[in-house]
Amino acid sequence: MNKKVMKSRFAAILTIMVFIASLFSFTGTSATAADQQDKSRVIVILDDGVSKKSIKDYVNKKGGEITADFNIVNGMAVFLDNDKIAGLKGIKGVKEVGLDVKVYASDTELDNSWGVNRIGAGSVHDLYTGANVNVAVIDTGIYYPHSDLDGNYRGGYDFVNKDNDPLDDNGHGTHVAGIIAAEDNNSGVVGVAPQASLYALKALDASGSGYVSDIIEALDWCCDNDIQVINMSLGSTSDAVGFQAAIGRAYEAGIVIVAAAGNSGKSNGKGDSIEYPARYEEVIAVGAVDRSDTRAYFSSTGPLLELSAPGVSVISCYPGGYASASGTSMASPHVAGTAALILAANPGISNTGLRQLMQATADDLGSAGKDTLYGYGLVDADEVVLPANSGSISGTVSDSNSFPIANALVSCGDGTVSTDSSGYYMMADLNPGTYTVTASAQGYQEDSQSITVDEGEISIANFTLTPVVAEKGIISGIVRNESGLGIAGAMVSTGSHTVAANADGSYIISDIIPGDYTLTASAAGYVDSSREITVYATQTTAADFILTAADAEQQTVVKNIVYSTSGGKTGTAHLIVTPIVVDGSDLAVPNALITIEVTLNGMIYYTGSAITGTTGTVSFKLAAAPSGTYATRILDVQAAGHTWDGVTPINAYIK
């Protein structure tokens, strides 16, 4: 290369580096005029099902401002005079009131580059690039005109300025996005998952700081928009009310959540300094290492640290070019990008199973096993996606009614793992060969299979366990309304056994294994009722119910199911299935968990669950759906203070 050209390029990068250094030197020291007044931003969390109207009326009456209205948790953020905040706590239904904590981009210094190659991501790209995996970057936005990002950018939202243009006015989010998914276009840099779909959720302002309330709104957005991986290269040493609850709802929706562990570490590595949100159990907390695999002096430490990744002198995208940066902010997107590669290679893997796989394949650093300085070790993209000289076994454990069995034990002689709440398990890093895999769970007969593991492959071993043979019991009773009349067709369930009541409301559930059960009765137009019962061998346990009629507003109705297509070629476009949930007054029901089953030509093709947004709708994406006749059945709708009527509207779609 011409030396003159090299010199001019170095000067350009150096200029960028100096600019960023000056930018981050004041992060966290500036304050807006509003912050200097006698007002504060606070988050108010209400009990589930409680209306927000009384809070809104109070804030408006006291001259305050509602800055955010959450759906993912029942609450909002308000800007109010300090002497009026105490009054919020006395309003009926208010659960928590706390300061809207500030968070900051987790950077420390600027220097050179090396990152993606160290974790072996490049060797995966011939097979997996993260294509069709949706990754949200909750940060300062993304400079989406960048030539290394424009092809992967899919949109987003600016929660700071409340508009649809999350353009990065800081540089931090762009740098993070480049580490995750800079394009493989023979120029600039390449990301860990160079074809992942990037979504910019701007929750940090031009100074690199922001409020938890904006992050909660961003998490809400992720649940409504089919996001699969979230990266948060930000943190605070203080917790905030409602924050973990929102994180928990996003995790329950199946999203992989990755966050920077923080730059609050001591040089001697002692102490527990993991910051929020990385401290939450649902979040993968990522620490930083340098190119010699040594923990960066600034990287936060503690027992909650899960993984380590390159975080010192990492070159990535920046508005107008490229820049080098250091911090756990740079480490976190290496893990988020690896998660995208795993999802591309294993579309059915759960977020819990994905974490177990990354933990099992991480390169152990520091003390043997998981430790407070490195967690499970350095994330290893090529081994976790394409295990070298080893293979994996994964699958599910369920009962004879196809209900998942959580905490079942699965062993193969080389170790034992437990299933997650969806019944999923993963055993990684197994030497090629044939194994006897055994699944067991309390109250069930264990089962074994002979499974062959091949190098670089994931072998599937699903188990259906049979209850232990025992003397059975019976449950019987009558389901009546408040007038004493039997409710025909009422459903009575133990969780594993469900029957419909006869015309007179009577029911019988046979072949029940002795034990304690929560028995639930439900019927369209009535509020569910549950009771605790004990079933004894060879005996009949009586359990009658009286159901109360639900108010019209308490009814939950799936009003319609809308079909549409997007992307792809004719016959292989993505099929979008959108149920519309309303109450008895035809008003949208937000924050409802809806479970659907889609058939293709009469055969089950897809099942899934998601949470409705503010319009009462949620879209399920069936990627590259083949041609045929589709029909959707609603399996369940759960919403606080509401009862589903149990009806699936007539629907069909020919593609």
Catalytic residues: 139, 172, 329
The residues, ordered by sequence, that sit 6+ positions from 434 with a Cβ below 8 Å of its Cβ are 450, 451, 452, 453
3-state DSSP assignment of residue 351:
helix
Structure tokens at 413: 């002689």
3-state DSSP assignment of residue 72:
coil
DSSP class of residue 276 equals: B
CB 430 within 8 A of CB 419: no
3-state DSSP assignment of residue 109:
strand
Structure tokens at 328: 């756990």
| Nearest CA-CA partner of 143 in 200, 222, 185 | 200
CB 390 within 8 A of CB 431: yes
SS3 assignment for 568-616: CCCCCCEEEEEEEEEECCCCECCCCEEEEEEEECCEEEEEEEEECCCCC
The rounded distance, in Å, linking the Cα atoms of 74 and 246 is 10
Count of beta carbons in the 10 Å neighbourhood of residue 100: 24
The rounded distance, in Å, linking the Cα atoms of 608 and 379 is 29
CB 148 within 8 A of CB 182: yes
The rounded distance, in Å, linking the Cα atoms of 166 and 376 is 34
The rounded distance, in Å, linking the Cα atoms of 530 and 516 is 13
Residue positions counted in the chain: 655
The rounded distance, in Å, linking the Cα atoms of 624 and 386 is 24
Q: What is the DSSP string of 185-230?
A: SSSS---SSTTPEEEEEE-B-TTSEEEHHHHHHHHHHHHHTT--EE
The rounded distance, in Å, linking the Cα atoms of 398 and 412 is 18
The rounded distance, in Å, linking the Cα atoms of 640 and 591 is 8
569 burial type by CB count under 10 A (0-12 exposed, 13-18 middle, 19+ buried): exposed
Element (H, E) at 115: helix 115-118
The rounded distance, in Å, linking the Cα atoms of 16 and 33 is 29
Pairing of strands 307-310, 284-289: parallel
| Nearest CA-CA partner of 72 in 229, 250, 231 | 250
What single letter denotes the amino acid at residue 118? Answer: R
122 burial type by CB count under 10 A (0-12 exposed, 13-18 middle, 19+ buried): middle
3-state DSSP assignment of residue 111:
coil
Rg (alpha carbons) of the chain, rounded to whole number: 27
- Give Cα 9 distance to the centre of its chain: 40
- Give Cα 624 distance to the centre of its chain: 23
The rounded distance, in Å, linking the Cα atoms of 150 and 92 is 49
**HSE toward the beta carbon, residue 389, CA cutoff 13 A:** 0
